[in-house]
Amino acid sequence: MKWLKIDKSSKSKPRGSNWRKWKDRLAEEGRFQCVYCAIPESSFGGTRNFHVEHYKPKSRFPSLASSYNNLFYSCAICNTFKGNDWPGNPNTRLSNPAYANPSIKDFNSLFSIDPTTLEVSGNSQSPRYMIEKLYLNRPQLIQERQIDRGLKLLCEQGELLRHLMSRMASARMSRKLVVLLSKAVNIQTQLNDLQRDLRSTRPYTSKQVKKGTRKKK
């Protein structure tokens, strides 16, 4: 799982007041993952479990309710935990309790992941506040990080096995053993590719949801 800095520089931004219609645009902009916890759609039930997030809560900043630069794609859990909480604007050093703006700050530079526990920690007050308020070390996110680490290890082991096979072949080791190792490497590679593709594939689109809803009626 990796956070993304959201690019809001496009000049062709949607206009109007119906911000709910911009969900698909925001999802694509955020690469179909939560802007705060980085969980992908494929791991959290798809777009129906994701919300249009108002960075500055619309209940407290009604003039920004339809401001595209104030909108992001968030999972329902992070959006629910955040709610209308707004302790204040983040300062330049992020040394105050606040939510860093994901279109201004790269969250990868604000958070670090412990290699043993896989828990997230913050390098200043603002990210630490976000970790606490958004519960960024909830069990599901720890498990997602474990999967990511496992996929990385599979890739590394695959490379080591290929190197070992090359050395065995040059040393004229048993052909059956080399073939067996080759099959194992191919299976491992296929499983790794399948896991990676599964995590990056959208379970369904908003159009499919609407189509299914119409049929039920």
Domain boundaries, the chain: 19-136, 141-200
pTM for the structure as a whole: 0.80
How far apart CA 140 and CA 169 sit, in angstroms, is: 43
pLDDT at 201 over 50: yes
* Percentage of residues of the chain with pLDDT beyond 70: 83
How many residues in the chain? Answer: 217
Q: What is the mean pLDDT of the chain?
A: 87
Kindly indicate the confidence band of residue 206, based on its pLDDT and cuts at 50, 70 and 90.
Answer: confident
pLDDT, tens digit, for every residue of 24-78? 999 999 999 999 999 999 999 999 999 999 999 999 999 999 999 999 999 999 9
For every residue of the chain, DSSP letters joined together read: ----------S----SS-GGGGHHHHHHHTTTB-TTT--BGGGTTSGGGEEEEESS-TTT-GGGTT-GGGEEEEEHHHHHHHTT-------TT--SS-PPPTTTS-GGGTEEE-TTT--EEESSHHHHHHHHHHTTT-HHHHHHHHHHHHHHHHHHHHHHHHHHHHHHHHTT--HHHHHHHHHHHHHHHHHHHHHHHHHHS-S--HHHHHHHHHHH-
- In whole angstroms, give the CA distance from residue 154 to residue 136: 26
